[in-house]
Structure 1
């Protein structure tokens, strides 16, 4: 990557993000970059593996690699950029866009273009989840079951499906027995969900793990213990305000490496998609992602 006025950009675009409007989100930003004299190219993704590969190749060329899509696209581009030791930008174009919201990115094309052209890279932590790089959060339990439901209902409005999916997940869920190892300290718990947080934000604008900061060099682990399922509904209501962590069934832990297993198969999701199977080993890679934010 050259100086701010000479940056070159490769946009990795999810063409189905936001109901198929990924390129519509990118075009006004690209026009402003071109008007400023930048070199700009755009590549539509064909698969997760393709997104990671093209992001890595662009990073190794020295381009700023721009993730155009939702949190899943951000995850895949971050995976390639970390491996290519490059610099990343974001143009939110998905349903959730929780990392962009958490970092306070501009919402208008002019603001996004200005950040891409003039912003200085900041070093953010990322998670390694059984070999998959994720900048946001890993969740295993009701939340990951809800993610499966969300991804199976892509035609519904975002806010609606993000609020209905947890309710449907609760109706199908029963608590699991988890085994956790946090920095070598082992514990067994019966719980509804385990979250290993870097950004702490997901679920369309919820701060699920309020203490989490994406550049503090630590993981924040939240365990929501067993209890009546109707309490999970009130838990979700409190999560909008961030007061849920005071509930007696909630435990907060910190560490740099976490291994999670359970007494039955439970989806392992990170940043909007199922990415692994149990047991899941989640390791913090401090400062591994250079991001214009």
Structure 2
């Protein structure tokens, strides 16, 4: 039976690369006899209706864009009981890297046509009083969220330099915060530069931030980089690309199914500690006296062709 597809495209992804990326894949699928519908710039309010209609038709819903676009679709597709496809066309494409997706249009088209869907985990992040939000790859607080914001403003730089320079810039201007972290029943307080709650091993355009992470094990991997000198953090940055940073004394790795996070930002000049998820800003961490940000794993939440 030939599959049918609904492509939802974020035209701004990858500095405008997404519309060009979809053309050869869609052409190959149509030449193979598949039905392909393409919608550009659907917007978050339109997505649930578009996804529901696509799932009712039996289409695979294909995310065309970066990790943020994928995250915004994954929970919607999961709620509709559909199947998700991924055409990576962003700046980082870290979740596609985690799934081991092909780089070529031919490989992606073949995978979409013949690949077997498998169920993967998602993260669910909930701020006090706010609606839950699904995230595919990772939720991060502190320096990493600041670096992601710098990447968003780095459009004039070559794409290969955007993430490394943003990471260095964020490290050189960071101030640590006091975090209260609870992973399942393990609660601790620590002074840290960043805390990452990971489903995927990768973020930041290929940084292997959480080497043990798996998208099918039903666990969250929590990586804490404790406060250190700015020079030491910058020197250790290359180790993140191969996962070697986890052997450093200032790095702690934990795992569990539920994570609670609060922070005292007084050491950081009183500024709230920013939180991001898959390249998108999510908000700021609650203070130590408030209810926490809660991140939980949704095991096998969505079927993905990969």
In the other structure, the counterpart of 1:15 is: 11
Inter-partner Cα distance in structure 1 for 2:153 and 2:43: 17
Contact 1:126 1:133 in 2 (8 A): yes
- Structure 1 residue 275 and structure 2 residue 288: aligned? no
Deviation for aligned residue 1:60: 4.4
Deviation for aligned residue 1:53: 4.8
Inter-partner Cα distance in structure 2 for 1:148 and 1:286: 29
Could you say what secondary structure the match of 2:215 adopts?
coil
In the other structure, the counterpart of 1:94 is: 90
Inter-partner Cα distance in structure 2 for 1:110 and 1:99: 19
TM-score, reference length from structure 1: 0.94
Inter-partner Cα distance in structure 1 for 2:31 and 2:40: 22
How big is each residue's C-alpha offset from its partner over 1:34-87, in whole Å with a ceiling of 9 and x where there is no partner?
112211111112433434553344234421000101111111111211111110
How big is each residue's C-alpha offset from its partner over 1:264-290, in whole Å with a ceiling of 9 and x where there is no partner?
311111111112432421010001110
1:1-293 equivalences in 2 (<5 Å): 3=1, 5=2, 7-51=3-47, 53-130=49-126, 131-264=132-265, 265-278=272-285, 279-293=292-306
Inter-partner Cα distance in structure 2 for 1:71 and 1:94: 7
Inter-partner Cα distance in structure 1 for 2:121 and 2:51: 18
Inter-partner Cα distance in structure 1 for 2:41 and 2:258: 31
Question: Which consecutive unaligned segments of at least 5 residues does structure 2 have?
Answer: 127-131, 266-271, 286-291
TM-score, reference length from structure 2: 0.90
Could you say what secondary structure the match of 2:46 adopts?
helix
Contact 1:54 1:80 in 2 (8 A): no
In the other structure, the counterpart of 2:129 is: none
Q: Closer, same or farther in 2 for the Cα pair 1:173/1:48, shift >3 Å?
A: farther
CA-based RMSD: 1.4
Inter-partner Cα distance in structure 1 for 2:67 and 2:47: 13
Q: Closer, same or farther in 2 for the Cα pair 1:260/1:59, shift >3 Å?
A: farther
Deviation for aligned residue 1:187: 1.2
Could you say what secondary structure the match of 1:153 adopts?
coil
Stretch deviating more after TM superposition (81-90 or 155-164): 155-164
Contact 1:52 1:79 in 2 (8 A): no
Question: Which consecutive unaligned segments of at least 5 residues does structure 1 have?
Answer: none
In the other structure, the counterpart of 2:288 is: none
Inter-partner Cα distance in structure 1 for 2:52 and 2:92: 24
Contact 1:60 1:85 in 2 (8 A): no
Deviation for aligned residue 1:156: 2.1
Inter-partner Cα distance in structure 2 for 1:101 and 1:79: 19
Contact 2:8 2:42 in 1 (8 A): no
Q: Closer, same or farther in 2 for the Cα pair 1:129/1:57, shift >3 Å?
A: farther
Inter-partner Cα distance in structure 1 for 2:205 and 2:34: 33
Could you say what secondary structure the match of 1:253 adopts?
strand
Stretch deviating more after TM superposition (268-277 or 56-65): 56-65
Inter-partner Cα distance in structure 1 for 2:303 and 2:9: 19
Q: Closer, same or farther in 2 for the Cα pair 1:184/1:93, shift >3 Å?
A: same
